[in-house]
Structure 1
Amino acid sequence: MRISTSSFYEQNTLAMGLQQQNLFNVQQRLSAGTKFLTAGDDPVGAARVLGVAQTLAESAQYATSRERATLSLKREETALDSTTVILQNIKTLTVQAGNGTLSDADRVSLATAIQSNLDQLVGVANSDDGNGQFLFAGYKSASPPFAAQAGGGVQYVGDQGQRLMQVDVARQLSTSDDGRTVFQSVQGGAGYVTSGAAANTGTAVFGAVSVVDATAANYSKDFTISFAAGNYTVSTNDTPPVVAASGAFTAGSPIAFGGLQISMTGTPANGDTFNVTTAKNAGTDVFATIGELVTALRTPLTGGGAAAQAKLQNALSTANVKVTNAHDNVLTVLSSVGSRMNEVDALDDGGASRVLMDKSYMSSIEDLDPASAISEFYQRQTSLQATQMTFAKLASISLFNYL
């Protein structure tokens, strides 16, 4: 077959151009360290890489969310640690205030110390995260959750919203607790709270309430113990009330009712009443409890006799139980924070393992084998050089060389 000179040059130019293009492609893949440069080189592989890259991007976002969640939980943990220390200090001061040798001035000094702790507690309850977001405000995190009232006391002005953060594919984690849950709640297992009526004039002082039969008919109800003519009557706070127990009062002897038991010393006056109430109905606001304790300690006993002393002892006992319940509640919330932090750590470990597997899979799809690529490079380079030399040799042939 006759091949024209132009066809010869065209075919060889095209062949060398194709070999140069293939060589350049290998050079680019070596430089980039990847098996393919465009989706057209390997459509299936490119699609797989794109999917894995999206998964890795999501994993990175979850890791960032977990980091932020851990930071928020650590800040709450710090605030709750401070809260437990303050409440423990108040409990210690309350016990000291029960010393019968203290004077009115001594009790005022203790009241001042407790008030200082109360102010600190309000400050902790209004802690923020350093960016103007208050830890215990719920969704209303732009303003302090606890506000002092003009007539005294502290009011919660936040809400009970839970700020959730997506920390994994199928897990939303609460990164905060609202102030009402932390500072104005008690646990379901909190004990009964006993308190004396403000109008009591006798010298009766109550002891601790103990549970003797949790299956009793009236157990878990609220009760009122009233005294008249040396007798006591225990009634439920139902409507209408139900008499749970009655009898002659003997100082120091237990009074049993509704699966509970309580002892009293001293002599109650006619008309004196005492409330034995479940913790959730006895007032769960720790700020109000501490405020009432401060008021009781600042009330002089001089001239009040044994009745005033009994009223103070009862007030201290009530406050001690309520503060203890509040302290236990904060410890429970603190335990919950610790559990959530442990969960975030576990999710971090799992996330890191998934990222490692995804990166390994992506590497198997797109990463270039340097040894085979270099070998291919030298093969194509040699082939191109051979083609060029052959073309140059053939192009120089002429009949004039044989004349």
Structure 2
Amino acid sequence: MRVSTVMMFERSVSSMNRQQSAFMEVGEQIASGKRVVRPSDDPQAASRAVGVSQSLAANGQQSDSRITARNSLSQEESILDSVSDSLTRAKELLVQAGNGTLSDADRQSMATEMRGVYEALLGQANSTDGNGSYLFGGYQDGAEPFVKDVSGAVQYAGSDQVREQKVDSSRLMEVGNTGRDVFQTVAAGSGYLARADSGNSGSLTFTGPKVTDTTADGYGDDYAISFSDNGDGTFEYTISGGPNGDTSGTYDGTSTTLEFGGVRLTMEGAPEGGDSLSVRPARNMSPDVFTTFENMLSALENPLDSDADKAAFANTLSTSSREMDNALDNVLTVRASVGARLNELDTLDAVGSDRAISYTQTQSDLIDLDYTTAISDYVLRQVGLQASQKAFVDLQGTSLFDLM
């Protein structure tokens, strides 16, 4: 093969360009701190790094989502704390109202304070978060969940579906509770509740009911107790409901204890013919803390002019006291659920932090630069470039005339 001067120059320039390209490539890596500056540097590592980067971004989004969820749940927990205080104060007023020495004026004064607690509770039920969304409205968080109708009774106008938020790759968490869950529900195991019908005109009062046997035949069923006057100072009572049909007995108008379906109910005073009581599981008695307040306010504000009025007041007091206990137990149960979710968010944060460290380390292993190796390569490439430049300079001075 004929070796020409042009070919020698071209090969020298090509070698020098290769050395300069390799030198600049290492310099670019050192300047950027990345081993893989562009996908062509290492296609497999670049591809894997894209997947890791997406996972890292998703983990960051989930972390932001947990912050939002924590803010909502923390605000709800704070409101539930205030609700618990309101219900506790209402229960204290109910206990005071049971004092038989109070006058109508005393009860009216208590009703004024009770109404203040009632309005405060309504305000708490319509609380908003920092963005103006109502905490207890469910998906319908743009309007007040609890509103008063034309009669002044509070009605729930929110959604029955709870807002959810994805706080981890496989965890969709409820970030609130509906108003119905908090204010119109009883906790599991709330037992039975008795209520005197509004049309009662006798002086019959009741104590209980008390659950005696949860395994009894008919436990969990609804019952109704009705009375008829025998005309001789005694009364016929009929217990309707349960698996065995109606049962009847005689009541002497003074005091008696009835046991049926695993519950015990004590009665005192004389009923009128047609009077009746309802005895049902608390969950079947349309639980609503605002209705309980309204019933109690009505009882406190009305004067007690007769034995029938006093009996109605005592029965309302007994039922309202149990309903208030059930409402408080339910709020505490919801609050415990909120606390459990906050604890779970803390755990997910710890897991997310560990996951972020793992992803970052994997990404670093794939594309980050080993400076020790890179600097060694940089020096080596520099020597190679200098050698090729020196060879090219020497080649320029080569001539056959030097040998003549």
Instruction: State the distance in 1 between where 2:336 and 2:248 align.
Output: 40
Q: Which residue matches 1:297? A: 300
Q: Which residue matches 1:260? A: 263
Q: Which residue matches 1:151? A: 151
Moved more, 26-35 or 198-207: 198-207
Secondary structure of 2:151's match?
Answer: coil
- Which aligned pairs between 1:178-217 and structure 2 lie closer than 5 A? 178-217=178-217
Q: Which residue matches 1:168? A: 168
Query: 1:197, CA displacement in angstroms?
Result: 2.7
Asked if 1 retains the 8 angstrom alpha-carbon contact of 2:86 and 2:121, the reply is: yes
Residue segments in structure 2 that go unaligned for 5+ positions in a row: none
Asked if 2 retains the 8 angstrom alpha-carbon contact of 1:126 and 1:146, the reply is: yes
Paired letter, 1:347: L
Residue segments in structure 1 that go unaligned for 5+ positions in a row: none
Moved more, 346-355 or 317-326: 346-355
Secondary structure of 1:256's match?
Answer: strand
Q: Which residue matches 1:344? A: 345
Instruction: State the distance in 1 between where 2:283 and 2:395 align.
Output: 104
Identity of aligned residues (%): 40
Secondary structure of 1:101's match?
Answer: coil
Paired letter, 2:364: S
Normalising by structure 1, we get a TM-score of 0.93
Query: 1:317, CA displacement in angstroms?
Result: 0.8
Q: Which residue matches 1:4? A: 4
Paired letter, 2:148: A
- Which aligned pairs between 1:9-48 and structure 2 lie closer than 5 A? 9-48=9-48
Instruction: State the distance in 2 between where 1:30 and 1:338 align.
Output: 50
Asked if 2 retains the 8 angstrom alpha-carbon contact of 1:65 and 1:165, the reply is: yes
Moved more, 70-79 or 220-229: 220-229
Q: Which residue matches 2:335? A: 334
Are the structure 2 counterparts of residues 39 and 313 from structure 1 closer, same or farther at C-alpha, using a change threshold of 3 Å?
Answer: same
Query: 1:252, CA displacement in angstroms?
Result: 4.5
Q: Which residue matches 1:235? A: 239
Counterpart of 2:276 (choices 273, 276, 279) is: 273
Q: Which residue matches 1:222? A: 222
Instruction: State the distance in 2 between where 1:249 and 1:368 align.
Output: 96
Instruction: State the distance in 2 between where 1:289 and 1:283 align.
Output: 10
Query: 1:200, CA displacement in angstroms?
Result: 2.9
Moved more, 28-37 or 212-221: 212-221
Q: Which residue matches 2:90? A: 90
Instruction: State the distance in 2 between where 1:187 and 1:50 align.
Output: 49
Secondary structure of 1:40's match?
Answer: helix
Instruction: State the distance in 2 between where 1:248 and 1:233 align.
Output: 7
Q: Which residue matches 1:284? A: 287
Paired letter, 2:398: I
Asked if 1 retains the 8 angstrom alpha-carbon contact of 2:12 and 2:391, the reply is: no
Query: 1:400, CA displacement in angstroms?
Result: 5.2
Instruction: State the distance in 1 between where 2:339 and 2:247 align.
Output: 43
Instruction: State the distance in 2 between where 1:397 and 1:363 align.
Output: 50
